[in-house]
Structure 1
Amino acid sequence: MTAAPAPAAEGAAPTLAPEAVPFLPRGVRLHFDTVRGAWVLLAPERALRLDTVGHAILSRIDGERSLGAIARDLAATFNAPFDQILADSAGYLSALLDRRVLELRP
């Protein structure tokens, strides 16, 4: 099992636009692994163990909401600055896009 990507470094510019709509492609899903007692992102032939931040982001992805809407929800839930949440979420999701376990709606 491999570790999930780390959030973007502080001060890094978001690599995804706030209007981008992320979704989990066919064959990729969130799953609670009872053996390890942790959330994982299951994809064909791999599993990424999620920390609480990764789970918080990915659990809000429904293929309908934009990155900006997800970041606003996270900022309100955790009483955190929207700009920082947006930058961190964009960096995290960009890493998942690179790993081909996340896609964007056209």
Structure 2
Amino acid sequence: MHPTQTGGRTRPGAGVSDSDRPRLARHVRLTFCRTRQRRILLHPETVVVLNDSGADILELCDGRRTVAEIVAELGARYQAVPDDEVRQFLSRLVARRCVELADG
């Protein structure tokens, strides 16, 4: 585990559990790009253009909601939400140090 200044942690190579509480890392920002007309994730020296699903997931990553709560919220908005895909998406962002996890 890699502790961070914000008290979160990253676990490269490890999965994201339902009780984890994801949040954007301190140096990462979710914003709207007028030029691209898409939501983007700003990371030092990197811009990640998000699809609508990815942006919807990240908007719910506030450090208070658990992964299970995020999946439930997305399930209430949309017909089907594959929870394993949400966890895989978050795991990739944890590995890239864009998302930090707090224990649930």
TM-score range, shorter chain: 0.7 to 0.9
* CA drift at 1:105: 1.2
Deviations 1:44-77 (A, max 9, x none): 1111100011011111111100000000000111
4+ runs of 1 displaced by more than 3 Å? none
Q: Which residue of 2 aligns with 1:95?
A: 92
CA RMSD of aligned residues (A): 1.1
Match of 1:61 in 2: 61
TM-score (norm 2): 0.81
Aligned length: 89
Query: Residues 1-106 of structure 1: matches in 2 within 5 Å?
Result: 15-80=15-80, 84=82, 86-106=83-103
CA distance in 2, matches of 1:61, 1:16: 13
Structure number with the higher strand fraction is 2
Query: Which consecutive residues of structure 2, in runs of 5 or more, have no partner in the other structure?
Result: 1-14
Give ranges in structure 1 of 5+ residues lacking alignment. 1-14
Identity %: 34
